[in-house]
Amino acid sequence: MKKRIFLSSPTMNGTEQSYIEEAFETNWIAPLGKNVNEFENELASYVGSRYGAALSAGTAAIHLGLKALGVKQDDIVFCSDLTFSATCNPICYEKAIPVFIDSEEESWNMDPVALEKAFQEYPQVKAVVVVNLYGTPAKLKEIKTICEKYEVPLLEDAAESLGAMYQGKMTGTFGRVGAFSFNGNKIITSSGGGMLVSDEKEIVDKVRFWATQARENERHYEHKELGYNYRMSNIVAGIGRGQLTTLDKHIEKKKWIYETYKKAFQDILEVKMNPYLEESVPNYWLSCLLMDEKSKVSPNDVIDALEKENIESRPIWKPMHLQPVFEKYTCVTKNGVYKNSERFKSIGEKVFLNGVCLPSDIKNTEEDMERIIGIIKELFSENK
Ligand SMILES: *Cc1c(COP(=O)(O)O)cnc(C)c1O
């Protein structure tokens, strides 16, 4: 069997161990401790946000972020349609109602035109959740401007886009709340974990309070609000601190992977790489290939051909409005998703049906890339 090539697996740099050792030596294994505080400071300062709250997952950051923005039962929340379900699930944890907004074709992220349309129908919306898919920034300026016009807070799901920039500013800092993830396959990983960032101290203090069981400041255990066990451990934070030291290297490598694919596939007329906006710098978390609708090669053909050679790839996220679990919400809106134009299939569905995520592992060597590219090129030349 040939060497396995992964989609995106953890890449440790060796420094993580020293942060963990320090935690062991000082017996600060749990609950909190220096690594948690420092990781919050270091990450917030890296992205240019005032405060960070280290949590057990990116999903927890989105959940408590929505709560901090006042989202409650029966509130409407606009949400990117083409994304991982963790962007949307927390809306439903709070029994609020997600309304899905289609993508535009230039970044595959939330279409400001579709967003504006949705606002006209639901001016009373409580919050907007925008994702930067695969590490590619959305049209954040336009989206922010629309949110400001309607005086509705923006939550940025930057779980996939740590280190990506839009107009010279880091993603995760455009909304009142930003959420990052350090899950196993993200651009850096702490084995699992997340971070909420905000410039507002009250929000971050409240989130830390909820995340530690909402314990009031009394000697005994006094609870006036519903609490959660969402805090990050000091060990996990140590891994995160170590990883943060090589984040820029990871981005560089991911960019090289993207550019290598782009160059290799430029002669195949029926494919394009995932696009990004000129005013943005992605972190290139995952490189994706989009096939022309008329192409004889399907995403499944690519996935099968690679899998046969022990190489991992996967489909594009399936849009939220097509997910059975959210069906009870999508019947509220026309076709389940707000689009730029009613004449066409949603852009998200088109990308889902014709796209594929290519192996984007930081440890990919030049030979690995040649192996992957060779298989894909052959597939397209056989199916002309
Ligand atoms: C990974 C991911 C999340 C969730 O992060 P976890 O740390 O796994 O909870 C949320 N949104 C998007 C877009 C993601 O890719």
Pocket lining: 274 vs ligand 1, CB cutoff 6 Å: no
pLDDT at position 228 is: 98
Residue 384, pLDDT > 90, answer no
Question: What CA–CA distance (Å, rounded) separates 93 from 109?
Answer: 23
Smallest Cα–Cα separation from 53: which of 200, 188, 170, 156? Answer: 200
Q: How confident is the model at residue 339 (pLDDT cuts 50, 70, 90)?
A: confident
Q: Half-sphere exposure of residue 246, counting CA atoms within 13 Å on the CB side?
A: 18
Pocket lining: 181 vs ligand 1, CB cutoff 6 Å: yes
pLDDT at position 146 is: 98
- The CA 335 to ligand 1 mean position distance, Å, reads 26
Instruction: Dig out the tokens for 193 from the structure.
Output: 């974990």
Instruction: Dig out the tokens for 133 from the structure.
Output: 């898919």
Question: Over pLDDT 90: what percentage of the chain?
Answer: 89
pLDDT in tens, 265-315: 999 999 999 999 999 999 999 999 999 999 999 999 999 999 999 999 999
Question: What CA–CA distance (Å, rounded) separates 95 from 23?
Answer: 39
Which of 33-37, 153-157, 207-211, 247-251 shows the lowest per-residue confidence on average (mean pLDDT)?
Answer: 33-37
- The CA 57 to ligand 1 mean position distance, Å, reads 8
Q: How confident is the model at residue 29 (pLDDT cuts 50, 70, 90)?
A: low
pLDDT at position 333 is: 67
83 CA: nearest ligand 1 atom = 13
Q: What is the mean pLDDT of residues 105-118?
A: 96
- The CA 11 to ligand 1 mean position distance, Å, reads 18
pLDDT at position 179 is: 98
Residue 142, pLDDT > 90, answer yes
Q: What is the mean pLDDT of residues 208-216?
A: 96
Question: Over pLDDT 70: what percentage of the chain?
Answer: 98
pLDDT at position 56 is: 98
Pocket lining: 87 vs ligand 1, CB cutoff 6 Å: yes
Pocket lining: 104 vs ligand 1, CB cutoff 6 Å: no
pLDDT at position 320 is: 96
pLDDT at position 195 is: 98
pTM to 2 decimals? Answer: 0.96
3-state secondary structure the chain: CCCCECCCCCCCCCCHHHHHHHHHHCCCCCCCCHHHHHHHHHHHHHHCCCEEEEECCHHHHHHHHHHHCCCCCCCEEEEECCCCHHHCHHHHHCCCEEEEECECCCCCCECHHHHHHHHHHCCCCCEEEEECHHHCCCCHHHHHHHHHHCCCCEEEECCCCCCCEECCEECCCCCCEEEEECCCCCCCCCCCCEEEEECCHHHHHHHHHHHECCCCCCCCCCCCCCCCECECCHHHHHHHHHHHCCHHHHHHHHHHHHHHHHHHCCCCCCEEECCCCCCEECCCCCCEEEECCCCCCCHHHHHHHHHHCCECCEECCCCHHHCHHHHHHHCCCHHHCECCCCCCCCHHHHHHHHEEECCCCCCCCHHHHHHHHHHHHHHHHHCC
Going by C-beta distance under 8 Å and a sequence separation of 6 or more, which residues neighbour residue 357?
Answer: 7, 134, 286, 287, 288, 313, 314, 315, 316
pLDDT at position 328 is: 84
Residue 78, pLDDT > 90, answer yes
Which of 176-185, 197-206, 339-348 shows the lowest per-residue confidence on average (mean pLDDT)?
Answer: 339-348
pLDDT at position 123 is: 84
Question: What CA–CA distance (Å, rounded) separates 298 from 302?
Answer: 7
Residue 335, pLDDT > 70, answer no
pLDDT in tens, 30-75: 667 899 999 999 999 999 999 999 999 999 999 999 999 999 999 9
Residue 245, pLDDT > 90, answer yes
